[in-house]
Amino acid sequence: MLLNGEKPGWSANTDIASSDGTASTADEKLQKRETWGRKFDFLLACIGFSVGLGNVWRFPFLCYKNGGGAFLIPYFIAVICGGIPVFFLEVSIGQFMSEGGIGPWKLCPMFQGIGYASAIIVFLLNIDYNIILAWAFYYLFQSFQAVLPWSTCDNDWNTDNCRIFNESSAFNGSVLYQTMTHNLSLNQNTSGQVIDSVTEFWERKVLQLSSGVGSPGNIKWDLALCLLLAWIVVYFCIWKGIKSSGKVMYFTATSPYILMLVLLIRGVTLDGASEGIKYYLLPDWSKLAEPQVWVDAGTQIFFSYSISLGTLTALGSYNKFHHNCYRDTVMFAAVNSGTSFLAGFVTFSVLGFMAKQQNVSISEVAESGPGLAFIAYPEAVAQMPFAPLWSVLFFVMVILLGLDSQFVGVEGFVTAVVDLKPQIFRVGKRREFLILGICILSFFIGLSMVTEGGMYVFQLFDYYSASRIVLVVAFFECIVVAYIYGIDRFYDNLQMMFGFRPGPFMKIAWTFITPVFTFSIFVLGAISYSELTYKRKLITYSYPTWAIAVGWCLALASVVFIPIVVIFKILKSKGSLKERIVDLLKPRLQRHQLRDNEDMSKVQLIDDVYQTNSANDDAIDSIEKLPMTNEFETEGI
């Protein structure tokens, strides 16, 4: 006999317990984890994420600063010793474990703090990186004018000391402007000193720069709206998951190369371009004896390859289990380093033109970081025919270079959160709401960087939140895989995935070369550490002690999770101290991740939450297909 149409012994709203003990109803099925739609999507995502603004404005500056062509020697040594091994390690761990962020470090649960540290680093970087996109959007909108607003001195934000430095006004004052000291204290009166129209536009119009980090001033609502636009674009790039964002990257990751080629052709045809390129490449071999050159090469590789941010692990986790990410690693390294080298020609051809126009040396017009994108290059395009066109092309390139880096970085953080609690966030539209919440939170934190004192806050985030901390994270990654999980075991895992065993170089790198390299660069960087200053055109601003303390809190906020998680897991475990440590050093693996003849005493077998959910769904479906019998027939009466 049926009651209310229900099958005997079964409730229509039967709950199935998920792997973490929470209930998941049949109406709220756990969504299957996505994989890349095409094999090429993964490589394109890695290129889009890692090839960004640092390749355009940081590498060329470091190259000329550290000996020109001679800098390529420590740079490529850093690629081989640090960049390629750690990149391959991170993407292959993500692919093997099919999780991003914290999950992959089930390889050694005691050190899952590596995943937490990486997630916090990328979260902080996402906040300050989108500020650059906001500035780029602002400049792009300002470029749609017949006369670029930073090319004249008759605007309401200009001072009486404003001058236009171009071919038609190369007066003696330009020499005064270029040779003035950069070591004035903030309290000195800078009135009467000549300053160019581009810098006044940047500092007085765009930033409305206050006197220091302790004077935040008002929110600049024009920049705030640009920041809001940037976060809206990021949200809609990733809200539907990696299959849709992968399609977006076919445009955002490839278009900058077309624009870069156009700007390169324009740059090399400018008067003075050859001198700029010569300055970029001419080697100064004596620089190789300076430790700072090697520190710059090492940190540039980790910055450019986006290592230790957890995002590469997340991107690898969306690969199919047998995808050949070993091949992708080599291709990625060639494209990334090649882009940096190409960007140097784009940058220094224009700087050579500027130097000749102003009749000064190239070192006096060269800028790094935001100064290149928002002062040096706008100044150059203002002196070109059809200036608004070249300005639009340049800032579109900056936006596209930064956009895929930004939304893939956010995707990496989202993946870390979702994979930590899939039973919560892979149900219904919760993942979309999570992304929305992260974007809103990041936007409100970012508002502190679009105030009148926002540039000082931006510099704090940029200098301390990642910087050399990523070297520490990479060091622990290599040590955990090589000496705790076991380098031979991991090589067996690679063979399971690829169908072949990679050559011995990676084994040597992970066990010896890369840990020594990362540790050495970190130590050299610590020895040469100097407190943050903000170098403006006429003033070098020194941060107060309390602001430096905030910076160190940003730096330690991530890496401190490595020891914290170790202590927390030991305290939470049961048994004697030795038993707890031994248990926490055992990898947690699923059945398909086990080797043939695996010693199960050294592994803990865990369920795949997605397969478990699928099996539960199949069980419900099979129950619903049972013959419609009454309870008496079932009991055989």
In the annotated binding site, the residues are 48, 51, 55, 304, 336, 401, 404-405
| Inter-CA distances, 455 with 185, 220, 370, 534, Å | 18, 12, 10, 9
> What does the DSSP assignment read for 162-194?
EE--SGGG--HHHHHHHHS-S-B-TTS--TT--
Contact 478, 508 (CB under 8 A): no
Q: Pick from 35, 36, 46: which is nearest to 329 by CA?
A: 46
Backbone φ, ψ for residue 15 (5° rounding): -95, 140
Task: State the virtual CA torsion across 480, 482, 486, 489 in degrees, nearest 10.
Answer: 120
Find all residues with CB under 8 Å of 405, minimum gap 6, and list them: 48, 49, 50, 51, 52, 53, 129, 306
| Look-up of token digits 């090399």 | 268
Burial of 3 (0-12, 13-18, 19+ CB in 10 A): exposed
What string of H, E and C letters represents the secondary structure of 40-98? HHHHHHHHHHHCCHHHHHCHHHHHHHCCHHHHHHHHHHHHHHHHHHHHHHHHHHHHHHC
Backbone φ, ψ for residue 528 (5° rounding): -90, 10
Numbered residues of the known binding site for Na(+): 48, 51, 55, 304, 336, 401, 404-405
Q: Pick from 205, 34, 54, 22: which is nearest to 125 by CA?
A: 54
Q: What is the C-alpha separation between 340 and 264, in angstroms, rounded?
A: 13
Find all residues with CB under 8 Å of 33, minimum gap 6, and list them: 98, 318, 422, 426, 610
Q: Please tell me whether residue 188 adopts helix, strand or coil conformation.
A: coil
Which alpha helices (H) appear in 205-254, and where do they start and end? 221-238, 242-252
Contact 306, 312 (CB under 8 A): yes
| Inter-CA distances, 482 with 401, 476, 495, Å | 35, 10, 16
Contact 13, 295 (CB under 8 A): no
Helix (H) or strand (E) holding 354, with range, is helix 325-358
Maximum Cα–Cα distance for the chain, whole Å?
A: 111
List the structure tokens of 358: 């102003």
List the structure tokens of 601: 């005493």
Q: What is the C-alpha separation between 60 and 52, in angstroms, rounded?
A: 13
| Look-up of token digits 């790094």 | 368
Q: For Cα atoms 57, 450, 379, give the angle at the middle one, nearest 5 degrees.
A: 40
Which alpha helices (H) appear in 480-544, and where do they start and end? 487-498, 504-508, 514-527
List the structure tokens of 611: 């397969």
